[in-house]
Structure 1
Amino acid sequence: MNVHATGDLKFTGLTRPDGAPLRLNDQEFVAIDRYRNAKFEATYRPQALYNRANEGFHANNETFLLHEVATNLPIYLPDTGPTDFHLHLPPGGFQLVLVTSGAFTFDYDGRFYNVGPGAVMLQSAIVHRQLFYTWSGLSTEENLKTPQTVVPDPISMGYSGKFLEAFITDPTTFPNPTIVGPDQINEAETPRVAWSHSLHDRPVDAGFWLQDPLALDALFKPLTDSPIKSAMPVYVRDIGIEAPSGHLVAGHIIATDPRGQSLLSKSTSSAADTTCFAKGEVVIYRVIRGTAEFRNKTGETFELAAGDVVTAGKNATSLVGVGENTQVLRLGLLKGMNDLRSWTPTQRDEIDGLAGQIITQKDIRPLRTEGKPVGYLYG
């Protein structure tokens, strides 16, 4: 038995987050992050560069962070390799990942997930690590220029791995404890530890979520009687995160095919639910590829291109047009986020310091590929 299944579980003093309450911006604001002003920085790991939507983050009272993660070096280097086993503990138990190029292998509590463009994962407080990603070998400048997509075509899967990632609040303000360090990982043993402590302020309904881009629930549905003008038919995919997020965030992708091609995986058995455009006290649009046109309350229009992000109050702006071969991620931040509180710095540091001691549940599986993650989300 190694460190995966050991640890002193006798600790006390942990409480639920009791810091400042989170508050969405309820004003009619519009904040735009332009890709041309992006600053890609190795904020957390040397292998990845992060492009934060800072204008929207600050305008929305720093309650929700969306950033692009671009892998920029091979995952195996002499001084660093795959991530250690760790947890993220953001307010509300929320971490969203949408893969937009390349291919990844993630290990969630002992089960491997091989994912490519269009895959959606939502989880928190599950012991996990990143084991593999594709790397093109291009220079940083050229690597950052490679296109992103939510369609798992062979070309996009050959690029360096990229994904969009979102947290409620900034990852530096909540606990991110390392449970098993890289020098203690035994690859021959199935990791079988998970968080089941009750201290976190997650919604009752929250859970682990994985949506494959080719699954039936991920098919794009036609937007009929569309308020969005386009030379091409407009389709909508519900990425399915509203329920597993504990009704904190709704997510959809609005997209069009390239002219003369059928690129998107579609279902024509039913139309898209147009009520999705009404969801959100605060709304975030991120253009993954193509162009999108928006109109604000005064009737003025503005256009976003690939990599641009707009964060706005509920009725401050609306999507009115999309170009051909366009894909736009829409996130609606729901009222439940106002019921959350942040961690205090003391709480954050205490839990980060506990590391493996916070593990209170074990699960032994016959194979890595069997069973759901047993994190506290299933406790």
Structure 2
Amino acid sequence: MGMQSMVDFKWPGLTRPDGNRLSFNRAAFVAVDRYKDISYDPIYRPQALYHRALEGLHANNDAFLLQEVATNLPIYREDTGPTDFHLHLPPGGFQLVLVTSGMFTFDYDGKLHYVGPGAVMLQSAIVHRQLFYTWSGMSTEENLRTPQTVVPDPTCMGYSGKFLEAFITDPTTFPNPTVVGSEHIKEDETPRTAWKHPLHNRPAGAGFWVQDPLELEALFRAYPADALGSVASPMPVHVRDLGIEAPSGNLVTGHIIATDPRGGSLLPKSTAKADAEGLAKGEVVVYRIIRGTALFADGSGKPLELATGDTVTAGKGAITLTDVGEDTQILRLGLLRGIEDLKMWTPTQRDEIDALAGQIITRADLRSERVTGKPVGYLYE
């Protein structure tokens, strides 16, 4: 098959994390990552610049990371192009991707997904590859200023591909093994391969999840001010449920809080009201301003104003959303109690699994068609 040999290893102590248990910051803390203070860095590959919400990560005992990934070089260069086939093994197997501009093609376990602004993907340690991305051709400075959105529109689709990405814990602390390196991929067969491995470590009920921004479940519903308290805004406030709570194994909730531009109707809407219970969940909450402005208040009533690119991480009840500007889109993630049932990988485990690389594969199947076949991750069942 043009890929590595597969061996059914028996690794005592390697199939589950065995380090310290994760814990939230239970204080009424508020940590802000201001866009004006951040830098973009090519941490893993030259075409991808990363902006990490480190203040929030560290204030919350390094339990959860939100970062922006910005494509900044064309795909046809020798040092860029598609990634290798790899997998991430965070505690709980949790990785969230929310596309905010451009277009991507991702290969998850042998099945292609073509995604643009507003698409949500959640995966639990599935072998995958980023196959294609758009690049605008603009300079780095101009590229990093391109507008972001969670609603598909032709303008944002034409920009460089960007997405918000979230992990439980910092990616440098857990294994990220390469399964098939770029130089060993045979495009006529390897990309159709679905793999089985024993290290997914996902909670019961967790699995693969994709939400298209124009499907019925992704419609924006009226903000339930009667249950959550009123939010001042020049435009009606709406909420989109990303649907990630159950697929994550009840680890994280996800919502977009948004308003239309003045005089326009950008958001695809339902006449129903949003679920207040789901929107209120979170032992710790993370808010990212994708576009526009928002105002929060802490327990003493002190205001906290955030603008495009800002992120705030806060303990339960430490902040309240009070104002939302026009043409604003806010990602809200609620971190649930189940995260504290997880353990970290020890440094030794991390290094051993990374060193195994493709040897962690215990079975492989080829799909007859890359866009059909059994659901992604079926070999893990």
Residue 12 of structure 1 aligns with which residue? Answer: 11
1:28/1:313 contact within 8 Å kept: yes
Question: For the residues of structure 2 that align with 1:59 and 1:195, how far apart are their CA atoms?
Answer: 36
- CA spacing shift, 1:78–1:200, aligned 2, 3 Å: closer
Question: For the residues of structure 2 that align with 1:373 and 1:196, how far apart are their CA atoms?
Answer: 16
Indicate yes or no: 2:193 matched with 1:192: yes
Residue 241 of structure 2 aligns with which residue? Answer: 238
TM-score, normalising length from structure 2?
0.96
Residue 324 of structure 2 aligns with which residue? Answer: 322
Residue 105 of structure 2 aligns with which residue? Answer: 105
Residue 251 of structure 1 aligns with which residue? Answer: 254
Matching of residues 122-141 of structure 1 within 5 Å: 122-141=122-141
The alpha-carbon deviation at position 75 of structure 1 amounts to 2.0
- The answer to which of 9-18 and 155-164 deviates more is 9-18
Matching of residues 1-379 of structure 1 within 5 Å: 1-3=1-3, 6-13=5-12, 14-189=14-189, 190-197=191-198, 199-225=199-225, 227-268=230-271, 270-375=272-377, 378-379=380-381
Question: For the residues of structure 1 that align with 2:63 and 2:9, how far apart are their CA atoms?
Answer: 33
The alpha-carbon deviation at position 276 of structure 1 amounts to 2.9
2:99/2:118 contact within 8 Å kept: yes
2:45/2:80 contact within 8 Å kept: no
- CA spacing shift, 1:296–1:10, aligned 2, 3 Å: closer
- The answer to which of 258-267 and 369-378 deviates more is 369-378
Moved over 3 A (4+): 10-13
Task: Specify the SS of the correspondent of 1:88.
Answer: coil
- The answer to which of 221-230 and 66-75 deviates more is 221-230
Task: Specify the SS of the correspondent of 2:305.
Answer: strand
1:193/1:359 contact within 8 Å kept: no
1:194/1:376 contact within 8 Å kept: no
2:124/2:206 contact within 8 Å kept: no
- CA spacing shift, 1:372–1:325, aligned 2, 3 Å: farther
- CA spacing shift, 1:377–1:294, aligned 2, 3 Å: farther
- CA spacing shift, 1:210–1:79, aligned 2, 3 Å: same
Task: Specify the SS of the correspondent of 2:88.
Answer: coil
Question: For the residues of structure 2 that align with 1:372 and 1:29, how far apart are their CA atoms?
Answer: 44
Amino acid in structure 2 at the alignment position of 1:344: T
Question: For the residues of structure 2 that align with 1:188 and 1:284, how far apart are their CA atoms?
Answer: 42
Task: Specify the SS of the correspondent of 1:126.
Answer: coil
Amino acid in structure 1 at the alignment position of 2:329: Q
Amino acid in structure 2 at the alignment position of 1:32: V
The alignment's C-alpha RMSD in Å is: 1.4
Identity %: 68
Question: For the residues of structure 2 that align with 1:353 and 1:11, how far apart are their CA atoms?
Answer: 15
Please list the CA deviations of residues 338-378 of structure 1 after superposition, one character each: whole Å capped at 9, or x if unmatched.
00000011111111111111112323322000124543785
- The answer to which of 364-373 and 165-174 deviates more is 364-373
2:123/2:209 contact within 8 Å kept: yes
- CA spacing shift, 1:175–1:204, aligned 2, 3 Å: same
